[in-house]
Structure 1
Amino acid sequence: MLTVIKSINDLGICTVVDLHRVTGISRPAIHRMVDSLCSFGYTERVSGKSAIRLTSQILSLSAGYKPESRLAEKAAPVLAELQKRLRWPLTFATPEDDVMVVQETTRDSNPFVFDSGRTGLHLPMTTTAMGCAYLSACTTEDREAVLERHRRRSGPDDVRGDGVAAARYRIAQAAEKGYALRSGGEPERTSTIAVPVVVYSTAVGALCTTFPTSAVVLGDALNNYVPLLQESARAIAASFEN
């Protein structure tokens, strides 16, 4: 069916004979598929019903495909390569409103899994390493919009430890160092190092690794993991820019 749809898209207005010639599919089979496509409104018959063409309804098939999906496609092979060099689970997430959404993770293939960082998981933006890494590379306008919404929800900074002042400090540290660090917090007894992913000078997400705090000396982790994460972040960006 997809082969027929693609062929109609390539040919424009065409006949069953045209489709048979380019696809090699038998004419009876093409007739059945065309009838089905017409019944669902994806194609219509023209020129006295001897030819067919796609309708605007075909666009609905791509409605569920988002830019984030393309980012995940590009990130997946990069994470797979990085996993060969870095033993701990890796995660790539993108922003959605005021949260980071996990788009790709190596947890399914990594034996060292100690949290639930599954694909589709929503993470707070201002209190996580991934969120702060992303915000550190954002435009001032986008970052301030997120912080203002966070301020409205969290109340005065002296009431909650995750207020705007604390968030600004974490983001500033990430901007200065080129990475964001979470040591402690959720999940317990773990640390996370995250770096921003920037495509064409625009922050599009963040890449991180999470590991047991007791398993690696923090200084060693920073020295060893940050360059690898930054290299992989650049590889994800290059896959778009090239």
Structure 2
Amino acid sequence: MSTKKNNDHSGNGLFNQSLEKGLAILLAFSPDMRTMNLSDIAKATGISRSAAQRFTYTLEALGYLQKHPINKRYSLRVSTLALGYRYLLVNQNVERANPFLLDLNLTCGETVNYSEPDRSDMVYVGRFPTSRRTPVHMPLGRRLPMYCTSAGRAYLSRLPAQQRKEILTASERVPYTHTTVTDIDKLLELCDEAADSGYAYANGEYYAGDMNVSAAVLDTSGVPIGVVSISAPETRWSLSDLRRQLAPLVMETARLISVRDPSPAELEPFAIGAGKAPPSAG
């Protein structure tokens, strides 16, 4: 992905490096490293093996890691989901968007996503999938680069031109498919087009065959805070039809989320089963 490490905070007396290292261990697990031994963890996070042993012991005791009894390799426990789930529980922007996203999903019949920016990525925090066959699975929490997605371009189109260019320039612009646009000038042109039209589009630039249109959600000051997207496969849509028929819908949904509070009746279905956060273990 296109995310980059945070700036060096080592000189700041308030910065807790131990906490940083503990979180780095959790984030080091990936599809390529589903399990790790102490040496793997030390190498992946840049800490000593003895430090890795202390941190993994603590994370295991807290219920975030588990160690295989035979090969002694560590893996994540399901408890780590609670860290991200807390964000969804308290995010008022996602809460207010949900009723409008559901209406859009029912209207267009395709998958509707809501994403928020993090550095040079968009992170998917809301999703209403289509009931029809689709080649793409996009779980909540998935990160996609801004430069090659309609969500990212819709967000960038609402930023000042210089900030937009800085983000694109700093991105690792990988050609994921044969349609991926990586040229800076062309990307800036697409963002300018999105700023003029009110929506952005992408033609299978991250996932081949997956087309999408997106529009930014704005706060009361006109600052982009999230993006509404419709994702649809090329087996059911042409890019021209997608833009002509679905772009107006995604723009109207983004506008409604930006300016109108959903009613208590609209919010009620999304509160059912939420309940209270469970008490901490121990």
Does the pair score TM above 0.5? Answer: yes
The 1:161/1:178 distance shift into structure 2, 3 A limit, reads closer
Counterpart of 1:176 (choices 196, 199, 205) is 196
CA distance in 2, matches of 1:71, 1:216: 30
The 1:154/1:220 distance shift into structure 2, 3 A limit, reads closer
Counterpart of 1:205 (choices 219, 226, 251) is 226
SS in 1 for 2:132: coil
The 1:229/1:98 distance shift into structure 2, 3 A limit, reads same
CA distance in 2, matches of 1:67, 1:240: 18
Counterpart of 2:127 (choices 105, 108, 111) is 105
Contact kept? 2:213, 2:229, Cα under 8 Å: yes
The 1:161/1:232 distance shift into structure 2, 3 A limit, reads closer
CA distance in 2, matches of 1:175, 1:89: 24
Deviation at 1:239, TM superposition (A): 3.5
The 1:66/1:209 distance shift into structure 2, 3 A limit, reads closer
Relative to structure 2, which stretch is displaced further, 212-221 or 117-126?
212-221
Q: Which amino acid aligns with 1:206?
A: V
Point out 4+ residue stretches in structure 1 off by more than 3 angstroms.
Answer: 64-68, 109-113, 239-242
Counterpart of 2:213 (choices 193, 210, 219) is 193
Q: Is structure 2 residue 120 aligned with structure 1 residue 74?
A: no
Deviation at 1:198, TM superposition (A): 1.5
Structure 1: where are the runs of 5+ without partners? 1-63
Q: Which amino acid aligns with 1:173?
A: E
Residue equivalent to 1:125: 146
Deviation at 1:241, TM superposition (A): 11
- What TM-score do you get using the length of structure 2 for normalisation? 0.55
Contact kept? 1:89, 1:112, Cα under 8 Å: no
Residue equivalent to 2:237: 216
Structure 2: where are the runs of 5+ without partners? 1-85, 175-179, 264-282
CA distance in 1, matches of 2:231, 2:173: 26
Contact kept? 2:215, 2:229, Cα under 8 Å: yes
CA distance in 2, matches of 1:163, 1:83: 33
Identity across the alignment (%): 22
The 1:141/1:165 distance shift into structure 2, 3 A limit, reads closer
1:1-242 maps to which residues of 2 (within 5 A)?
65=87, 69-107=91-129, 110-150=131-171, 153=172, 162-200=182-220, 201-239=222-260
CA distance in 2, matches of 1:235, 1:129: 19
SS in 1 for 2:107: coil
Contact kept? 1:102, 1:121, Cα under 8 Å: yes
CA distance in 2, matches of 1:173, 1:120: 28
- What TM-score do you get using the length of structure 1 for normalisation? 0.63
Q: Judging by fraction of residues, say which structure has more helix.
A: 1
Deviation at 1:161, TM superposition (A): 5.2
Deviation at 1:141, TM superposition (A): 4.5
Q: Which amino acid aligns with 1:99?
A: D
1:72-100 CA-partner distances (Å, limit 9, x unpaired): 11111111111111111011101011100
CA distance in 2, matches of 1:134, 1:80: 21
